Structure formats: structure tokens, C-alpha cells
Amino acid sequence: MSPLLPFCFLLSKLFQAALGYLTVSIEPLPPVVVGDAVTLKCNFKTDGRMREIVWYRVTDGGTIKQKIFTFDAMFSTNQSHMENYRKREDLVYQSTVRLPEVRISDNGPYECHVGIYDRATREKVVLASGNIFLNVMSPPTSISVIAADTPAPFSRYQAQNFTLVCIVSGGKPAPMVYFKRDGELIEVVPLTDPPVNVAGLHDGRASRNLFHRDMDDTKMQRSLSLLGVEDQGGRPSTEDPLKGLTLDQGLLFGPATEAIPETVVSREFPRWIQNVDPVYYFHHTHIPISDGTVEVRAMLMWTLNPQIDNDALFSCEVKHPALSMSMQSEVTLVAPKGPKIMMTPTRARVGDTVRILVQGFQNEVFPEPMFTWTRVGSRLLDGSTEHDGKELVLERVPAELNGSMYRCTAQNPLGSTDTHTRLIVFENPNIPRGTEDSNGSPPTSRITFSFLLAIILTVTLELT
């Protein structure tokens, strides 16, 4: 041992005795949750006389210190325990700062600064400090599952890639997100970047036969029969719409439209069906939010098989240290079935604007379907072959549309369905029969000719 060590130790003791002894520490805290009450505790030990205690909140990477609490002994009347500052004894003190309801903005470092008087002279102050980082956690506030790139059509002839996106917002730190299918955890292949073509990605995992799910002989026979209809010309034929204005007086007290049953269900036995367990690919991104939380977008991608995936329950589940139990959102992949169509007005007359709207389905459909309207055997009123959207609008309907039939095709990647409705057009008492044009309005040329003829006859009678 060096002979200088005892001498250095003695010098430090003499220096300490001259200046006063002071140590400061802040009790560590585990991560806290938004809304909790938190107490920061600063412990200090000294044999000198206290001058001040100051608490700071540090922001902007340490460049700014915001004073949140100050104790100045010069203005305190409670000093009986330290009247004799020359007395040699170590005293332990504690200063606390209570945050009754922490917020995300309270996250960050805090410092406790303590000052005592120099033992040699009261003109000088000895300072020491301690620091702590308050980690404030926030549980996710919302979770939802959507389908990417929808609405999208159904394809019977080729495989389609399908992506579910789970959006989790409001969490700090970022939560762990995973997917389940029918209550079972899905084994996924993680990807650093989302693939452009999921169908082109494969691995060597053993396949499990899932062909038996949602399949029976009856459905297979029905599927094959429908495929035969397709080969012979696609959609089943319907009668030609009636021409002219109806003369049946019984219709005046009957329904304004004819309910046509659902005629085609195309969610049937795709020709490209695969009898292997799909490979699921997983990709997630973290998006920082200005309030300090993180939005997580987790994507599950695979090659869709409508025959197997229809009616499959997918759930997105979240684990987070601020949650006592997992958080989840569920969706069931379902093809559209039985569109419910409403027509207004219920009794359409010549010249009216008719709106045909899809109000809903017989089942809960996911993902959102796309809608296509066509007129059976002819073009739509505006001359187009089809119209996209939930609503078909026919402006100023003419008498020639009486009895015309309209087809609505609703489809999503799980399947498609067609339903029909027939338009019945009644007389308009404000428009004499036979005087309306193709748009339901009286022709200007006929009115002008009749008016001129009436003037000529009047002038002739006056002259005679």
C-alpha cells in the first residue's frame, strides 16, 4: 500500500469537516401508468446547515430545466433542529414531490438539488444533486382490424393475395401485436418489408390438408352446376323488360316494385382451390405520435382461399405492460349474401327520379363489398353498361322503363352474389299519355306545333 494513501484520506476528512458533509440520492421508481399518483423522494444526509432544496424537471435533452419545487431555509421558521450549525452530527432528510395524476408529458428526467452552508463561512454554499428518470407508460386506447386494398372483386379463376391490418393506437411503449385464427395463434413468417407479391413467397413447411373445411358433396355438386352455367354463357337468362306504360289498374294499388329472389350465388368452389395450409406473412411498423405514444400497424398477409377462409374468425391481440389482460379486436371473413334493396319513391311515375339503394345484407359482411349495377338486356338510362356504387339513380324515368329489370352484383374477395329488382312506372297525371319523350318530358316540337295550329284556327274563324 502506498504511504500516501493514509495522508490523502486524512486530507479528505479535514476538507470534509471544513466544508460540511452532504450526499444526495433519489429513490428509484418502477415504470408508472398514466393516471397513477407518483411521489418522487429525494434523500440527503449532511452534518451541515441546510440552505435550500430545488426540484427540476429536465426537458429538451437536458438543455432546459424547469423548476417545480423550491424550499429556501432563509425564509423558513422551522429551523430548531439545526440552530447550532457547529454541532457535529449527521442528519438524514427527505424531500418529496407528489404528482397526483401523471400524464405522458410527465415522462422524463428529474433532478433534486440540495445546498448547505459552508462550515467555515456562511458566505459559501455547498451543493449536491441526484437524478431519476420517470418512465410513464400508456396503455393502448384503441384497436381495430381492417382489410387492405378493399373493396375488391371476387375471382374464381386465380388466387388472390389478402391482407389484414391491425391498427393499435395510444400505447407507450409500443405494444406486442399478434394474430389468431379461430382462437389459435397463427405461425407467421416475419418480414422486414411488406412483400409486393405474397403469392410468390413460399417456405418449406409441411402442409396440412384443410380441404374438408366448409365443403360437402351437396355444395360441390352445386358448384359444378354453376360452373357449367358459366361455361354456357355466364349469368342466367331473364325475360326481356316490358315496354310501354302499364294499363293494369290493379297495379295502381299493388307494390311499385317486384321482389326478385336472389338468383346467383357465386361464392362457389374456385377452380384454383389449393388443399394446403396457407403460409402467413407478418410485417409491422411503428409510427411515433406527437404526444409521445406509438401507433402500431401490424399486417397479416396470405393467399386467400374463399372455400376455406369464408366464415374464418381472425383476431388481433395486444399485450402491453400497462394492461392487466390482453386487448383484442375480431373480424369474421364473410362473403355477401342476400342484399336488401330499397327503391324510392315506392310508386315511381313518369318523370320522377328513382333511387335504388342497397341497405344491407342478410348477414354481416367483411370485408366491405363492392357494388355493380346493370340493366338486364339493355343499357342503363344514361347509356352506360354498368354503374358502380351502393346506389343507382335514374333521373326523370320515361314510360319505356316500365318493367325493366336491374341487377345488383355485390362482391368481396370471399365471394359474390347477384340480386334483381324490377321497376314499375305509373302514369303521371301531370303529363298526358303519349306526349312524353324518352326522358319522360313532353316534346317541345309537338307543343309548338299544337300551339301554332290553334292560333291559325283562331285567326281563320275571326276572318270568316
How many CB atoms within 10 Å of residue 136?
22
- Cβ 402 vs Cβ 425: under 8 Å: yes
**Tens of pLDDT, residues 216-256:** 333 333 333 333 333 333 333 333 333 333 333 333 333 44
Confidence of residue 85 (pLDDT cuts 50, 70, 90): very low
**Tens of pLDDT, residues 98-107:** 999 999 999 9
Assess whether the previous peptide bond of 109 is cis (omega < 30° from 0): no
Confidence of residue 344 (pLDDT cuts 50, 70, 90): very high
More confident position, 89 or 128: 128
Whether the predicted pLDDT of 451 surpasses 80: no
Sign of CA dihedral 429, 434, 437, 438: positive
Whether the predicted pLDDT of 315 surpasses 90: yes
Confidence of residue 460 (pLDDT cuts 50, 70, 90): low
Whether the predicted pLDDT of 436 surpasses 80: no
Mean pLDDT, residues 170-197 taken together: 90
How many CB atoms within 10 Å of residue 93?
15
- Residue 245 is predicted with a pLDDT of 37
Whether the predicted pLDDT of 353 surpasses 50: yes
Provide the mean pLDDT of the chain.
Answer: 76
Closest CA to 178 of 321, 305, 187, 140: 187
Mean pLDDT, residues 323-344 taken together: 94
More confident position, 45 or 4: 45
- Output the furthest CA–CA distance in the chain (Å, rounded): 153
What separation in angstroms does the CA of 408 have from each of 22, 156, 261, 355, 358?
A: 84, 19, 12, 13, 9
Strand partners, 423: 257
- All three cell numbers of 373: 349495377
Residue with cell string 421508481: 29
Mean pLDDT, residues 280-299 taken together: 95
Mean pLDDT, residues 29-53 taken together: 90
- Residue 14 is predicted with a pLDDT of 45
**Tens of pLDDT, residues 260-273:** 554 444 444 455 55
**Tens of pLDDT, residues 160-171:** 899 999 999 999
- Residue 393 is predicted with a pLDDT of 96
Which residues lie closer than 8 Å to 416 by C-beta, 6 or more apart?
153, 154, 266, 267, 335, 336, 409, 410
- Residue 6 is predicted with a pLDDT of 53
From first CA to last CA, the distance across the chain in angstroms is 151
What is the CA angle 279-282-284, rounded to 5?
170
**For the sheet containing 38-46, what is the strand order?**
22-26, 38-46, 91-99
**Tens of pLDDT, residues 409-428:** 999 999 999 999 999 999 88
Measured CA to CA, the distance from residue 265 to residue 227 in angstroms comes to: 11
pTM score, two decimals? Answer: 0.69
- Residue 192 is predicted with a pLDDT of 85
- Residue 161 is predicted with a pLDDT of 92
Whether the predicted pLDDT of 116 surpasses 80: yes
**Tens of pLDDT, residues 362-394:** 889 999 999 999 999 999 999 999 999 999 999
Which residues lie closer than 8 Å to 374 by C-beta, 6 or more apart?
380, 385, 386, 387, 406, 407, 409
Confidence of residue 60 (pLDDT cuts 50, 70, 90): confident
More confident position, 78 or 323: 323
DSSP collapsed to 3 states, the chain: CCCHHHHHHHHHHHHHHHHCCEEEEECCCCCEECCCCEEEEEEEEECCCEEEEEEEEEEHHHCEEEEEEEEEHHHCCCCHHHCCCCCCCCEEEEEEEEECCCCHHHCEEEEEEEEEECCCCCCCEEEEEEEEEECEEECCCEEEEEECCCCCCCCCCCCEEEEEEEEEEEEECCCEEEEEECCEECCEEECCCCCCCHHHCCCCCCCCCCCCCCCCHHHHHHHHHHHHHHHCCCCCCCCCCCCCCCCCHHHHHCCCEEECCCCEECCCCCCCCCCCCCCEEEEEEEEECCCCCEEEEEEEEEEECHHHHCCCEEEEEEECCCCCCCEEEEEECECCCCCEEEEECCCEECCCCEEEEEEECCCCCECCCEEEEEECCECCCCCCCCEECCEEEECCCCHHHCCCEEEEEEEECCEEEEEEEEECEECCCCCCCCCCCCCCCCCHHHHHHHHHHHHHHHHHHHHC
- Residue 190 is predicted with a pLDDT of 95
More confident position, 84 or 117: 117
How many CB atoms within 10 Å of residue 326?
13
